[in-house]
Amino acid sequence: MTAFEFNEPALLDEDHRMIRAQIRRYVEDVIVPQADAWEQAGEIPRQAFRDFGALGFLGMRHPVEYGGGGLGALASVVLGEELARGTYGGVAAAFTVHSDMSIGHIAHRGTHEQKQRWLPAACAGEKVGAVCVTEAHAGSDVAGLKTRAVRIENGSSGGWIINGSKTYITNGVHADLYIVAARTDPHAKGSRGISLFVVEKGNPGLKVARKFEKHGWRSSDTAELFFDDLRLGDDALLGEEGKGFYYIMSTFQNERLVAGAMSVGQCAKAIELTVAHARQRLAFGKTLWEQPVVRNKLAALAAKTAAVRALVYQCAQMIDEGQDAVREVSMLKAYGCETLQEVVHGCLQFHGGGGYIIGNPVERMARDARILTIGGGATEVMLEEVAKRM
Ligand SMILES: Cc1cc2nc3c(=O)[nH]c(=O)nc-3n(C[C@H](O)[C@H](O)[C@H](O)COP(=O)(O)OP(=O)(O)OC[C@H]3O[C@@H](n4cnc5c(N)ncnc54)[C@H](O)[C@@H]3O)c2cc1C
């Protein structure tokens, strides 16, 4: 038993427990020793995706016949928690954007031919996915996106031409498969008239305009993209034309569940590191742990983390049972990611000056955590979703 470890929820079967143990070992033995170099490079080598994919962890949610594991939302929760416990939020983001936020669109909406073409390589980590929704003037307000896809009416081959841009796209520099949201009907109001397309790396109309320098998540690459008369065949359209907004919102449920799981993993690890530090750090003739204020605060943070974790598992169960979990998942995204801020900053505080120094995992975790109350549904937007359902 480490300094702060949760009990395994009864919901998890033997397979989930085995997956947790394997991912944890892999994160500790293989990822953590390399991750500082990835942080400095600002990207994760393709071989790391391949290695993690070869173990089956990138395709757990996708159908077995296309190279996946055929597992449910609980598997994503275990993945999110364990990657986040590694203390490198950028690695957790890059892997889960691929496994749980982008290629899932192909698994859910793709035809047999599309799944056959893209999923096996994606599950294996041979091809990396990115999801391209946000634009410079449309972030929280997804329905405001302006990137335009126009059907090619003349000529025999059909297809689409896309013009526009996307920003802050995780894996955007090095992805092979970009799931792009574009407006196919300019006359349809707001959320209607948006469709999803698969754009492959190497398409001459796809330009990586820049790679961003970021406050945190430094090992994951984040790009601005331009689409300049980007031509696609009819077979690039995912699902039905005009249903893209609905598809994005439905995949957001999984994205937000994984964000909640990542928050729990980071909270647990930050508390574990801080309890260990407090037990040995002396101040005023006793350890920090012996100061009631310190241990009380850490106990309160542990209690809040346990509450978030209970909500994570409740949401995963609701999703796996096919229940409408929008209200609970929105609560989780808001409360879980806000709790994470309190935990990482509380933990940094008890590391004293050392907590502010680069190289201390808690310093990195505090930076990495910051995006989680903004990306994938800002706290305020999530609470509105809850309020609408009250
Ligand atoms: C590191 C990183 C990785 C990302 N990865 C991806 C990716 O892979 N794919 C992708 O498509 N996008 C990605 N994003 C974009 C991210 O999802 C958006 O930044 C997020 O949705 C917020 O949009 P915005 O930045 O335009 O902020 P805005 O929409 O301008 O909102 C700014 C702030 O205003 C407040 N606010 C907004 N709306 C409301 C409201 N209705 N009520 C009250 N307050 C409100 C919130 O506090 C919000 O944080 C990423 C962003 C970052 C920084």
Distances (CA, A) of 83 to 22, 90, 191, 278, 382: 11, 10, 33, 24, 24
Taking the centre of ligand 1 as the mean of its atom positions, its distance from the CA of residue 334, in whole angstroms, is 13
Q: Whose CA is nearest to atom 7 of ligand 1?
A: 169
Measured from the CA of 212, which atom of ligand 1 is nearest? 1
Site to substitute for ligand 1 among 168, 211, 227, 251, most atoms within 8 A of C-beta: 168
Q: What tens digit of pLDDT does each residue of 300-333 get?
A: 999 999 999 999 999 999 999 999 999 999 999 9
Please name the residues in contact with 373: beta carbons below 8 A apart, sequence gap of 6 or more. 337, 338, 341, 379
Q: In this model, does residue 5 exceed pLDDT 80?
A: no
How large is the average pLDDT for residues 204-214?
A: 98
Distance 371 CA to ligand 1 centre (A): 9
Counting beta carbons within 10 angstroms of the beta carbon of residue 292, is it exposed (0 to 12), middle (13 to 18) or buried (19 or more)? exposed
CA of 136 to the centre of ligand 1 (A): 10
Coil, strand or helix at 213: coil
Question: Ligand 1 centroid to 139 CA: how many Å?
Answer: 5
Identify the pLDDT of residue 238: 98
Which atom of ligand 1 lies closest to the CA of 137? 26
* pLDDT band at 4; cut points 50, 70, 90: low
Both tokens assigned to 287? 């350890």
SS3 content of the chain, % helix, strand, coil (to 5): 55, 15, 30
Among residues 81, 255, 328, 338, the one annotated as catalytic is 255
Give distance in angstroms: CA of 343 to centre of ligand 1. 22
Structure tokens at 136: 């410079």
pLDDT digits (tens, 9 = 90+) for 104-114: 999 999 999 99
Q: How far away, in angstroms, is 34 Cα from ligand 1 center? A: 30
Measured torsion, CA atoms of residues 208, 168, 94, 242, in degrees rounded to the nearest 10: -90
Atom of ligand 1 nearest to the CA of 133: 11
- Ligand 1, atom 50, lies closest to the CA of 168
**Residue 28 a catalytic site member:** no
Whole-prediction pTM value?
0.97
In this prediction, residue 1 has a pLDDT band, given cuts at 50, 70 and 90, of very low
Which residue's structure tokens are 């996708």? Answer: 62
Q: Burial letters for 334-361: b for 16+ Cβ neighbours within 10 Å, e otherwise?
A: bbbbbbbbbbbbbbbebbeeebeeeebb
Segments in 176-291 forming alpha helices (H): 244-280
pLDDT in tens, 22-74: 999 999 999 999 999 999 999 999 999 999 999 999 999 999 999 999 999 99
Which residues' Cβ are closer than 6 Å to ligand 1? 97, 131-134, 139-141, 168-170, 214, 217, 222, 371, 374-376, 378, 380-381, 384
Q: Name the residue of 374, 383, 384 to mutate for ligand 1: max ligand atoms within 8 A of Cβ.
A: 374
